[in-house]
Structure 1
Amino acid sequence: MQTPHDARAPRTLNIGILAHVDAGKTSLTERLLFDHGAVDRLGSVDAGDTRTDDGAIERRRGITVRSAVAAFTVGDTQVNLIDTPGHSDFVAEVERALEVLDGAVLLLSAVEGVQARTRVLMRTLRRLRLPTLVFVNKIDRAGARTDGLLADVRRLLTPHVAPLTDVTGAGTPHARVTRRPPDERTAEALADVDPGVLAALVDGPAPTADDLAAALAARTADGSFHPLYHGSALGGQGVAELVADLVRLVPAPPPPPDRRPAPRGTVFAVRPGPGGEPTAYLRLYDGEVRP
């Protein structure tokens, strides 16, 4: 799935999609693949024709049972998406996926809000210091919340979070997302985890937009801060903003040394191939493997 970098190789990111069940993980995966030309039509969980839920039980029940992998390309970056189960019954699949990730997108439903599994996942992601972006899905559904949900995120998940998008018309089919540049509220949130921003706020001069952008990138990369985005996986709102910052803020792993080491990697999933044959997905850290 991912091979070590060289000067000619494109950048590769392994990104996990994690959430409480029914928050929209598989729908977001389908949207990302469709928007970037990896599939020619949007699959539907209800119709049982999504790209990643290809098992009979998954399609019949409309749930993800095994972690699945799909890829798309943004510029010179290949993003390998790992769609993980939301049911706690399949937590072993999630744990295996976490071992091979460069970053994660944690989904919340704007309707259901912070749920039990969401809290467990965020605790794990913060313990691993894994770069994590938060995506508030279903903003176009009746009952969707934004400001109140942000308060819940800060109280129940982590205080070290700031929204980088705004929403108009939340809870209606006309919900729309606009980008929100880092501002004074972003600076105050970053000051809790970035000494440079704190010093600038206390002693002056105030941090510039470039200062905030640099601090946001650094603190997202080390897993201490979490940018938050809004959108709808089904409608496509806000997904472009999420992807743009995903490839900008999540760092790729460093290239291996210039030597030919023994192969070292982790097989984290085994899925049926196009002809039904078992296909193993491998995160390769060093060396090279051949058939």
Structure 2
Amino acid sequence: METPVQRKKLNLGIVAHADAGKTTLTEQILYLAGAVRAAGSVDDGTASTDTLAVERERGISVRTACASVFWKGVKLNLIDAPGHSDFLSEVERSLSVLDAAVLVISSVEGIQPQTRQLAESLKNAGLPCLLFFNKCDRAGSRSAAVLQEAEKLFGKPVLPLNAVLEEGTERCAVQPLSLTEGERLERSVLACAEEPLLELLLTSEEEAARALPEALGRAVGEARVLPALFGASKYGTGVGELLDAAAEYLQEAEAPGGEFCARVYKVEHDPIMGKAAYVRLFSGSLRNRQAVRCAGETEEKVTRIRCVSGKRLEDAEQVEANDIAVLYGLSSVRSGDVLGTAPEGLREYRLCEPLMLAKAEPENPEQQRKLVEALQLLCEEDPSLQLEWNREKQEAWIRVTGRIQLEVLEGLLMERWGLRVSFGKPSVIYRETPRKCAEGFEAYLAPKPCWAVVKFMLEPLPRGSGVQYESKVSPGRLPYRYQAHVETALFRALSQGLHGWEVTDMKVTLTDGESHHVHTHPLDFFVATPMALMDGLRAAGTKLLEPIVRLQLDAPEEYLGKTISLLTAHRGVFESPELRDGYFCLTALVPAAETFDFPVEFAVATAGKGSCGSRFSHYEDCPEGMGEERERLGPDPLDRPRFILAARSALTQGD
């Protein structure tokens, strides 16, 4: 088969609220572009991008999938991201490697909670975006109204490129719309908001029509305008027009010259070839057997490079900027890592913050070690999981975002490692902050050889301030190298406060310190600093902070009263609901401790007709008498003799 002539390549993400038809659209793109012989079905478990058994069984995507097609000279690397809010970390990582995105919106359900969150992420990333209004064949489709909702959501012009015929029936079809005729020309020119084009419109509509495509390409590329397509992915309706729009209006990213740089957006563990790192190259090139610098400044050699062709992987000797590739041989790499030298302006992403902590227990206690190893691999694939190992109690804890993620983890552990695992009821991840100002002091002078004196001032800060550190000690009093040890040890020690939770919203000032030219061991300040910090926290006292979740709730108006009662019962604070077309949209702030079963309760309260999306908002003071203590991992610095013994033993082994 002759290789198509490539005029540009685009890394295009497909994102949507769950059940909007995102994976079905991806299947139709693969079929229309000739990458597969038949489009797979999510309902039948035959979707080619849903490779995990748990995805086929549940009919949802839980991992980012990648495929590649050619369309009219454009190579499209398609990245299909999960739609459920429990897997928002996968979506955020994907956005950081995209050139543009297709946001799939159901023309029946309209703008759903996860749609709003995705729109917020797309706007924050400044990504060009195409809108695909799906399910126009379904009864209840209201494409014109949903388009207006989308325009309001993004706060930018949305330009439809086709129109729907026989909407709401299986005979649904689409016809192209010209942007250069009549009122549509004026609307398109105004949407581009470029002064020369506006002047052309006033003098010659014909000249304006000729200049419009180039101006529209700039406007779309700068995310000032969103082209929109209507269709029905189940039947492939509108899919070709979507691909045409991507080929015409989306631009390949300019690849800066210079050194190799890539970001890892996905990690898999192949049972035969080992760890596979899916990367997007931003600059430079990469050859097989080349050494690359991974996170942490270590260098590792790439032992194999593969590229995506259709839904298959094929070997490659070299890849260039803007390519998607799969790299093997990088044993230390994790999802989200940047490889090589990052160019200026590399797009960052915000990792979704897990708010729940759950204990994982194997059905067979003798498989505890195997479970920990499996969880470590899963953490490399999704760093937000953050495995915590309680050595004293031989317990494994994992951080998660919700119930669905726990159920998926159970399925993955069984599918990949044959492990039957149960998770305990999750606990909310609280934080601590000092109640008042206080001093912390430690004079670590025995048993010799040792000499480290540390004195801190602790001050509470407003919510959301994080931790601030300052040293007011001169290098003559305490050499810089020991001050650096103090700072490093301090931030490590802040991971567990008096109640076992991370300490935040506090300023720590090093006000005094002392070393000895003979007796001070290079690592003494790693022992003294946690004890000084805990001494200060004990004097100040700490209070718990609880995480607050922002809920987006949609349902028919008749269920508004029940929804408000449910929110009130769960300590929710909410704004006035927005009413439209017989539905309400309500935003509420609810403590995370109250949200674990909330989606199920909301579904019951709305007879399954409601839609619920959630995202972490902030931490705030936990009401007195509420919240949970957490058992400390490792020795307690307040138990001075035991802590010194354990710390010295660990440091000696580290030497």
Fold conserved between structures, TM > 0.5: yes
Task: Tell me how far apart the structure 2 counterparts of residues 233 and 204 of structure 1 sit (CA, whole Å).
Answer: 42
Match runs of 1:65-144 below 5 Å = 65-144=62-141
Note the C-alpha offset of 1:188. Answer: 2.6
Tell me: CA distance 1:54–1:217, structure 2 relative to 1, closer, same or farther (3 Å). same
- Could you tell me which amino acid in structure 1 is paired with residue 23 of structure 2? T
Structure 1 distance, partners of 2:279, 2:7, is 18
What's 1:164 paired with? 161
SS of 2:234's equivalent in the other structure is coil
In structure 2, distance between residues paired with 1:59 and 1:215: 43
* Other-structure match for 1:191: 190
Task: Report how far residue 274 of structure 1 moved.
Answer: 9.6
Shift of 1:249: 0.9
Contact 1:262 1:288 in 2 (8 A): no
Higher strand share: 2
User: Residue type of the partner of 2:209?
Assistant: A
* Structure 1: stretches of 5+ with no match in the other structure: 1-7
Contact 1:131 1:221 survives alignment (8 Å): yes
CA distance in 2 between counterparts of 1:238 and 1:195 reads: 29
Equivalent residues of 1:46, 1:62 under 8 A apart: yes
CA-atom RMSD in angstroms: 2.1
TM-aligned CA distance change 1:274 to 1:179, over 3 Å: farther
Is 2:38 the counterpart of 1:12? Answer: no
CA contact (8 A) 1:131 1:250 kept: yes
3-state SS, counterpart of residue 132 of structure 2: strand
Give the 3 Å change call, closer, same or farther, for CA 139–186 of structure 1 in structure 2: farther
Q: In the alignment, what sits opposite 1:288?
A: 286
Segment drifting more, 187-196 vs 75-84: 187-196
8 Å contact kept, 2:64–2:81? yes
Tell me what 2:47 maps to.
50
Structure 1 residue 230 and structure 2 residue 230: aligned? Answer: yes
- Are residues 118 and 187 of structure 1, via their aligned partners in 2, closer, same or farther at CA, if it must alter by over 3 Å? farther
1:23-62 correspondence runs (5 A)? 23-62=20-59
Paired letter, 2:193 = D
Once residues 179 and 111 of structure 1 are traced to their aligned partners in structure 2, the CA distance between those partners, rounded to angstroms, is: 21
Q: Deviation string for 1:32-85 (max 9, x for gaps)?
A: 001111111111101111111111211111001111101111133211100011
Name the residue aligned to 1:5.
none
Aligned partners of 2:268, 2:47: CA distance in 1, in Å? 15
The whole-number CA distance in structure 2 between the counterparts of 1:190 and 1:118 is: 28
Distance (whole Å) between structure 1 residues aligned to residue 57 and residue 138 of structure 2: 24
Tell me how far apart the structure 2 counterparts of residues 216 and 274 of structure 1 sit (CA, whole Å). Answer: 47
* Corresponding residue number in structure 2 for 1:246: 246
Aligned to 2:144: 147
Residue 153 of structure 1 and its aligned partner are, at CA, apart by 1.6
Q: Aligned AA for 2:164?
A: V
Distance, in Å, in 1 between the alignment partners of 2:81 and 2:137 is: 24
Query: 1:126–1:224: 8 Å Cα contact kept in structure 2?
Result: no
**Secondary structure in 2 matching 1:111:** coil
Distance in 1 between residues matched to 2:141 and 2:269, nearest whole Å: 37
Q: 1:62 to 1:15 in 2, by over 3 A?
A: same
Determine if contact 1:45/1:62 at 8 Å carries over to the other structure: yes
Distance of 2:271 and 2:30 partners within structure 1 = 18
Alpha-carbon distance in 1 for matches of 2:271, 2:38 = 18
Q: Deviations over 1:207-229 (max 9, x none)?
A: 63222222211100111110010
**Secondary structure at 2:220 match in 1:** helix
Deviating runs (4+, > 4 A) in structure 1?
272-278
Deviations 1:225-278 (A, max 9, x none): 100100111111111111011011111122443xxx443101111246596854
Question: How far does residue 283 in structure 1 lie from its aligned partner after superposition?
Answer: 0.6
**Which residue identity is paired with 2:15?**
L
Cα deviation 1:129-169 (Å, max 9, x = unaligned): 21110000111111111222222222233341111101110
- Is the CA contact 2:67–2:78 (under 8 Å) kept in the aligned structure 1? yes
| SS of residue in 2 equivalent to 1:140 | coil
Asked whether the equivalents of residues 192 and 216 of structure 2 are also in contact (C-alpha less than 8 Å), the reply is no
Identify unmatched segments of 5+ residues in structure 2: 289-302, 304-655
TM-score after normalising by structure 2: 0.41
On the 8 A contact 1:136/1:231 being kept in 2, the answer is yes
